[in-house]
Amino acid sequence: MSTHANTKMLSEADGYDLLRRFNVPAPLFEITTSPEAAAAAAAKIGYPVVMKIVSPQIIHKSDAGGVIVGVKTDEEAKTAYNTIISSVKAYNPDAEIKGIIVEEMAKPGLELIIGGKIDPAFGRVITFGLGGTLVEFHKDVGIRILPCNDEEIHSLIKQIKGYKLISGYRGEAPKDEEFLFQTLKNACEFFEKNENVVEFDINPLRLYEKGGCAVDARVIVQDGPVELPPHYDPSKIVPIDYYKPRSVAVIGASDDKTKMGYAVFHNLLQFPGKVYPVNNKRSEIQGVKCYPTLSAIPGPVDMVAITVPAQLVPGIMEECGQKGVKMAVVITAGFKEMDEDGRALENRMVEIAKSYGIRIVGPNCLGLILPPYKLDTTYVSTSPLPGDLAFISQSGAIVNAVVGISLSEGSEMGYSEVVSVGNQSDLDFLDYMSYAQRDPHTKAIILYIEEIKNGVAFMEMAKEITKTKPIVAIKAGSSQRGQAAAASHTGSLSGAYEVYMEAFRKCGVTPVKTLPGAFKVAKILSDVTRAPKGRRAVVITNAGGFAVLSNDYAETWGIEIIDLPKELIDEMNTFLPPFWNKNNPIDLLGDADEARFRGVFDVLCRNPDLWDMAILVNFPNKVLSPEQVARVLIDYSKKTENLLVGTLVGGDCMKPGVSLLTQHNIPVFEELEFTYRTLGHLSWTADR
């Protein structure tokens, strides 16, 4: 996606005219080119007026001394005219001065900003928040990706911190939220219908108890229509049989354990179909007959894994075409990620593949693993176990680490698909997601994303997938430094992280921050009946300290610890000892036995509409074993569809309870902050 280089800023007057056509109110104005004309215009408009510089080079007029407000007489108007001209000349001697705009002075109101820009991946994005000259200071803005519906506009208004100033702060009368909603909607329409608008902002939009008014407009246009990212095109998606080869050849297979070609071929030995090593220096590799070239292989070859140096790859691709190969996993690095020569090499490889209809995984990747089919084209040291998670990663190293962790003791993690996407020269995130969508083994999808190029298509596809399978995503680059690092190698917009978060919200993807979080959240969400319906939590514990910490963590991660209704407290009073805290978190005290916990869960499960999740927090003690705690949760999880989670803090002695809960598919944590963080991520889905 690119924008024409030829952009220009419309004058404030032209901006007002354009916005007015979309029912965004703007002040009356006149452009003048002499002090006398300014005074005459001001008299006609009616004092007081505001006078501002009109110059294409002056983007922030106040900074240049180009704005004077509250002009009350003809004399003042003439003086203001001259003052503005001389300030602007001093500020920028080269600025071309087109005149002075004399405007009706809008009465004071709440100053807001409405802006729009084109995101290279996600297309038109609008921004809304607290505005005025302090906009950078407030940094209180929300965004929406267009097109967006009424509900999304309403929630955008409510999501900013400054919403209190709109709804009526400290006894002030509320502002006209309906007008604001209409104006935002109109601004969206203005942006979508004017295809040559690259960027705009209305700052400030003054909002009153009744109505409002734009008092500045900056609109940047280009010559032709803006080019937007493409929509999802299902015809581009790889047919599923491409992932089901009957035979796989490894180009560059090796007997030398230090070579990638060794590990790749070794991992493929478990594949139940045919596997062929290709290497012109050997007759046998790892005990299997070796062929000097791909064409020398007698039978058909459906898939190849390529580990030979980049310069050789276009030639090999040509050979693949002749041989009728359908899919090439290009593990080799040294393509566009390296330099211009590498880029040219990659383009050539892709062109050849295209001409034969070969689809490419990579290059510059770890490869593809489909554990249910025992297909592992990577050089990870041990293949992961089959299971129901698809893990799609833009980092090969993270794939390696995740596979390693999944095989470590006590982990019961298995995968349906593991892929490192590499340079995505052909197959990209969408293809691998589409595979996971269609694959019957996959229950949930985890993405590790640095950058998505085709964001619009991504959202369209993810929206479909998340109707049946949850998608959890780690988006790298949330920090200032991370964004700068990402920008320096991808050239992406700063602030893009927020656009990703908004895109995820829009299409039902759950963002998380860490790998353990990703696995926990994916696991819980893949049991759809348990996904929390909201943020309301009840905490039941025998540990006062954890009750206090629960409040802190819950607040940090946006979990709402509800006040218990009196009826529930009354009911609990009938069986709890008189000194229980009668509050949520429910502290059943250190001597709490199983019966106390069961009693509370019994009451909760009979009142499921009052809460969305119940968290049992327990520590090692003699009255109650971790297995007993686990049993309580297991029994009551059969009696409610709400989410029940356990947190057993205390290390190894709690393990029997932890593994019992794990076996019964009940989310369990061994660290309290992680509980709330995970629940916070989960509730993201509930809010939509």
> For binding to ligand ADP (CB under 6 A), which residues are involved?
27, 50, 52, 60-62, 67, 69, 103, 105-106, 132-133, 204, 215-216
**Residue 443: which of 490, 390, 395 has the closest Cα?**
390
**Residue 385: which of 401, 398, 369 has the closest Cα?**
369
CB of 174 to ligand ADP, least distance (A): 21
CB of 57 to Mg ion, least distance (A): 16
Beta strand spans in 384-470 (E): 386-393, 415-420, 444-449
CB of 187 to Mg ion, least distance (A): 15
Indicate which of ligand ADP, Mg ion, none lies near residue 50 (CB less than 5 to 8 Å, by partner kind). Answer: ligand ADP
Closer residue to ligand ADP, CB minimum distance, 29 or 500: 29
Indicate which of Mg ion, ligand ADP, none lies near residue 105 (CB less than 5 to 8 Å, by partner kind). Answer: ligand ADP
Closer residue to Mg ion, CB minimum distance, 69 or 610: 69
Query: What is the size of the binding site for Mg ion (CB under 5 A)?
Result: 2
CB of 4 to ligand ADP, least distance (A): 25
Indicate which of ligand ADP, Mg ion, none lies near residue 416 (CB less than 5 to 8 Å, by partner kind). Answer: none
Alpha-carbon torsion, ordered 300, 303, 307, 313, to 10 deg: 80
Stretch that binds Mg ion, among 203-211, 337-345, 408-416, 438-446 (CB under 5 A): 203-211
Cα–Cα distance, 95 to 550 (Å, whole number)? 59
Measured in degrees and rounded to the nearest 5, phi and psi for residue 505 equal -55, -45
CB of 8 to ligand ADP, least distance (A): 16
Closer residue to ligand ADP, CB minimum distance, 80 or 449: 80
Which residues, including other chains, have CB under 8 Å from residue 158's CB and lie 6 or more apart?
none
Stretch that binds Mg ion, among 211-219, 225-233, 353-361, 412-420 (CB under 5 A): 211-219
Stretch that binds Mg ion, among 196-204, 250-258, 315-323, 622-630 (CB under 5 A): 196-204
CB of 563 to ligand ADP, least distance (A): 42
Closer residue to ligand ADP, CB minimum distance, 107 or 281: 107
For Mg ion, which residue of 183, 203, 420, 683 counts as binding (CB under 5 A)? 203
CB of 53 to ligand ADP, least distance (A): 9
For Mg ion, which residue of 30, 216, 428, 431 counts as binding (CB under 5 A)? 216
Give the three-state DSSP class for 564: coil
- Residue 11 interacting with Mg ion (CB under 5 A): no
Give the three-state DSSP class for 593: coil
Closer residue to ligand ADP, CB minimum distance, 130 or 392: 130
The H-or-E segment that residue 484 falls in is helix 480-490
CB of 204 to ligand ADP, least distance (A): 5
CB 536 within 8 A of CB 562: yes
CB of 92 to ligand ADP, least distance (A): 13
Closer residue to Mg ion, CB minimum distance, 67 or 125: 67
Closer residue to ligand ADP, CB minimum distance, 1 or 69: 69
Closer residue to Mg ion, CB minimum distance, 16 or 232: 16
Give the three-state DSSP class for 197: strand
Which residue's C-beta sits nearest to Mg ion? 216
The C-alpha angle 676, 678, 679, rounded to 5 degrees, equals: 65
Number of CB atoms found within 10 A of residue 589's CB: 16
Q: What is the DSSP string of 305-348?
A: EE-S-GGGHHHHHHHHHHHT--EEEE----STTT-HHHHHHHHH
Please report where in the chains the tokens 């629940």 appear, as a residue.
679
Window 274-333: residues binding Mg ion (CB under 5 A)? none
Structure tokens at 14: 């032209």
CB-neighbour burial class of residue 386 (10 A; exposed 0-12, middle 13-18, buried 19+): middle
- Residues forming beta bridges with residue 49, ordered by sequence position: 71, 104
Please report where in the chains the tokens 């800023």 appear, as a residue.
9
Indicate which of Mg ion, ligand ADP, none lies near residue 133 (CB less than 5 to 8 Å, by partner kind). Answer: ligand ADP
Cα–Cα distance, 264 to 539 (Å, whole number)? 49
List b or e across 478-488, with b for residues whose CB sees 16 or more CB atoms inside 10 angstroms.
eeeeebeebee
CB of 16 to ligand ADP, least distance (A): 10
Which spans of this chain sit near Mg ion (rule: CB under 5 A)?
203, 216
